[in-house]
Amino acid sequence: MVDQTEPTNPGALEKHGIRSALRGIPVLSVWLRDLMISLAISAFIIIFLYQPVKVEGTSMMPSLDDQERIFVNKFVYRLEAIQRGDIVVFHYPRDPSKSFIKRVIGMAGDHIRIEAGRVFVNGNPLDEDYVPRAFVDQRSYAETVVPPNSYFLLGDHRGMSNDSRDFGPVGENYIYGKAVFGYWPFAKVGKLH
């Protein structure tokens, strides 16, 4: 005995939606394939090119706030040179298990001195519009020449920063990325300067 509710011909299959459901399987497999490729590309970008980082501390205020989330480009310095003004992430020279974030002030061969908080590079005062008056301190630093393959790094909040004034110039091999983009909080989303 045949149950009349069960479809037995192609027209009945179409009527009950079974045929269209079977046609959807290739669409689903293509969608899953595309999703897996997208996830693999995203993982590659995050692991090898861009790293999400949470800023801890106030040494880079107001450019970067405590607990702000940013992306660090870990590949950029393979293609271009580190520039004065870049915000870099590096292994702390006194404890390489820790990472710091500071701004590049001096390049290899530069003569750096600080007089009552005013930074001079090669005898010329450095224009630092990223350091508000409230964040300048009055510390001085005797003139030093930045060694080859090294950089003089300072935090933007000079009164709250442990930087090259304390631990000296940082070797290029300690620098592993450039802070390029803020993504949290939403009020600060955008390219970093």
Could you report the per-residue pLDDT of 82-131, keeping only the tens digit for each? 999 999 999 999 999 999 999 999 999 999 999 999 999 999 999 999 99
Task: Name the CATH superfamily, with its identifier, for domain 55-191.
Answer: Umud Fragment, subunit A (2.10.109.10)
Residue 52's nearest CA partner among 181, 190, 187, 185 is 181
Catalytic residue list: 59, 102
User: How far is residue 150 from each of residues 76, 78, 153, 156, 173, measured CA to CA in Å?
Assistant: 17, 16, 10, 19, 8
d(CA 183, CA 63): 13
Give me Rg for the CA atoms of the chain.
Answer: 28
d(CA 103, CA 89): 9
d(CA 67, CA 57): 7
What value does the mean pLDDT take over residues 48-71?
Answer: 93
How far is Cα of residue 173 from the mean position of the Cα atoms in its chain?
18
**Domains of the chain, residue spans:** 10-48, 55-191
d(CA 158, CA 117): 8
Is the pLDDT reported for residue 31 higher than 90?
no
